[in-house]
């Protein structure tokens, strides 16, 4: 297990949660898909949400998680917010990105 200065990295699956996408997510999906060095598809987004390689707590917002998938040497990050008390039934997808900071740290090779 890798340690990060904010939280411990954790890998877990969530196969049954309801997923809702924000308007900002759709805007970013269109923009990131145009210029991305790796193909960004909805299949990749959903796989990253449901079966991430790494999960990290957002250091600025405790209700949000960074779900990260290693893709061709890049860190593909989807930020989700849990809107459910037991944190398993509903996730709101806020945004997505290829995270260069995590890549520079060598976490997605």
* Residue 77: Cβ within 10 Å count: 21
Cα–Cα dist 40/4, whole Å: 26
pLDDT confidence band for 4 (50 / 70 / 90): very low
Q: What is the pLDDT of residue 2?
A: 37
Structure token pair of residue 26: 């759709």
Nearest-CA neighbor of 19 among 99, 62, 79, 60? 79
Residue 18 has pLDDT above 70, yes or no: yes
The per-residue pLDDT for range 42-92, each reduced to its tens digit, is 999 999 999 999 999 999 998 899 999 999 889 999 999 987 665 557 889
Residue 27 has pLDDT above 80, yes or no: yes
Q: What is the pLDDT of residue 87?
A: 54
All structural domains of the chain, each given as residue ranges with its CATH number in brackets, are 18-104 (3.30.2310)
Cα–Cα dist 39/4, whole Å: 27
Q: What is the 3-state secondary structure (H, E, C) of 57-103?
A: ECCCCCCEEEEEEEECCEEEEEEEEECCCCCCCEEEEEEEEECHHHH
Structure token pair of residue 108: 């997605």
pTM above 0.75, yes or no: yes
Q: What is the pLDDT of residue 11?
A: 41
């Amino acid at each position: 297990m890798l340690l990060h200065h904010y939280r411990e990295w954790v890998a877990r699956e969530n196969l049954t949660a309801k997923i809702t996408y924000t308007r900002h997510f759709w805007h970013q999906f269109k923009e990131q898909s145009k210029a991305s060095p790796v193909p960004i598809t909805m299949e990749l987004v959903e796989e990253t949400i449901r079966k991430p390689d790494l999960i990290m707590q957002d250091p600025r917002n405790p209700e949000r998680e960074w779900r990260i998938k290693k893709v061709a040497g890049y860190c593909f990050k989807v930020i989700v917010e849990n809107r459910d008390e037991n944190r398993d039934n509903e996730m709101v997808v806020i945004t997505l990105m290829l995270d260069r900071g995590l890549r520079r740290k060598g976490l997605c090779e």
